[in-house]
Structure 1
Amino acid sequence: MHTERVTIEDAVFLTTLHLAGPIGLLALHGGVEGGTAELAREVAARTGATLLTFTQPEGPPTHIPSTRMAPCAPLTTFLTHTTLTISLHGHNRPTTPRTIYAGGSNRPAARVLATALADSSFTPITTLSDIPHPLRGLHPDNPVNQTRDGGVQLELPVQARTTHPVPTDPEIPPRKVVDGIVAGVRTLMEREGARW
């Protein structure tokens, strides 16, 4: 496990990188989208996936869009090492508080994760036209799409990221969501190396 401070657009981040398997769990906004870093850590620990989280240990939380997350050394290492990325994000759409959006460029992998999350008590959506445009994660500059096989951007509502909707420390991801993503990652690992 390697930690490193990086500065992106004047915001200071603490990155935590653990190189392991070819599938990577990424939490770019662990400092502002509560529970995403914790969820990524737990899934990576249970599956042997590679892990990279960004948190903000000091100052007011700053949300930098994924497409502007500069290719700092930890992110470059992560993207070089992994073949497929699962990027965890948070959404706060009041009209869809029980919906998980599965965007990103790897549509077959998105469907695998959605199927694995079907019993999580949340509704996974994979049809791109049903995903709000800002949550689709399709831009080529988005790190989720920059590994060999692209990736899946999971946009999770608050209650799918933490059992404490009011900010608290530590964040504890819901067990059914953790189990669902773990099952999906394991299925993807079994398929790793196959043509998508």
Structure 2
Amino acid sequence: MRTEHVRIEGVDFLTTLTLAGPIGLLALHGGVEGGTAELATEVATRTGATLLTFTQPLGPPTHIPSTRMSECPPLHTFAAHVSLTISLHGHNRGSTPRTIYVGGSNRPAARALATALSRWAPEFLPLTTLSEIPNPLRGLHPDNPVNRTKDGGVQLELPVLARTSHAAPTHPEIPPEEIVEALTAGVRSLMERAEQR
């Protein structure tokens, strides 16, 4: 595990990078989108995936769009190491409190993760039809870090109920076990596919 301080657009981040398997779990907005870094960490621990999280240890949380975060050393190292990225984000859309938007450029991988979510966390709705995903949540921009690895990636936009087990924020956040199990199963499936190629 390697930690590094980086500064992006005047905001200080602490990055934590663990190089491991060919699938990479990424949480660009840990602390801003509560529970995403904790969820990525837990799934990576259970699967042996590579992990990169960003947190903001000082000052009020600032949300910098993913497309403006690509040019930093930890992300370059991460992208050079993994073949497929799974990027965890949070949405706060009150009209869809149990919908998980499954975007990103690798649509077969997106469908595989959606299948795992449907099986292991049936109380949530994973949505993979891009035309039904709000445009800002589709994760298709070529400058988005989720798409900068060899096989592209999957952007998961998770509602609050899928990121934390508590109504009020806690530190650290504790992701719901059913979501951890679902993503663990999905990542293992993707790792098996990668090994068979």
- Give your verdict on TM over 0.5: yes
Q: Distance in 2 between the 1:80 and 1:165 partners?
A: 38
Q: Is contact 1:8–1:70 with CA below 8 Å preserved after alignment?
A: no
Q: Distance in 2 between the 1:34 and 1:91 partners?
A: 10
> What's the Cα RMSD here?
1.0
Task: Give the corresponding residue for 1:181.
Answer: 183
Q: Does 1:130 find its partner at 2:140?
A: no
Q: Does 1:26 find its partner at 2:26?
A: yes
Q: Which moved more, 1:80-89 or 1:63-72?
A: 63-72
Q: Can you give the 5+ residue segments of structure 2 that lack an aligned partner in the other structure?
A: none
Q: Following TM superposition, where does structure 1 have runs of at least 4 consecutive aligned residues deviating by more than 3 angstroms? A: none
Task: Give the corresponding residue for 1:112.
Answer: 112
Q: Which amino acid in 1 is paired with 2:90?
A: G
CA deviation profile, 1:93-142 (whole Å, cap 9, x unmatched) = 11000000100000000000000000312110000011010000000000
CA deviation profile, 1:37-76 (whole Å, cap 9, x unmatched) = 0000000000000000000001010000000004211110
Q: How does 1:149-188 map to 2 (within 5 A)?
A: 149-188=151-190
Q: How does 1:52-131 map to 2 (within 5 A)?
A: 52-118=52-118, 119-120=120-121, 121-131=123-133
What is the TM-score normalised by the length of structure 1?
A: 0.97
Q: What is the number of equivalent residue pairs in this alignment?
A: 195
Helix, strand or coil: the match of 2:108? helix
CA deviation profile, 1:139-178 (whole Å, cap 9, x unmatched) = 0000000000000000000010001231211200000000
Helix, strand or coil: the match of 1:67? helix
Task: Give the corresponding residue for 1:190.
Answer: 192
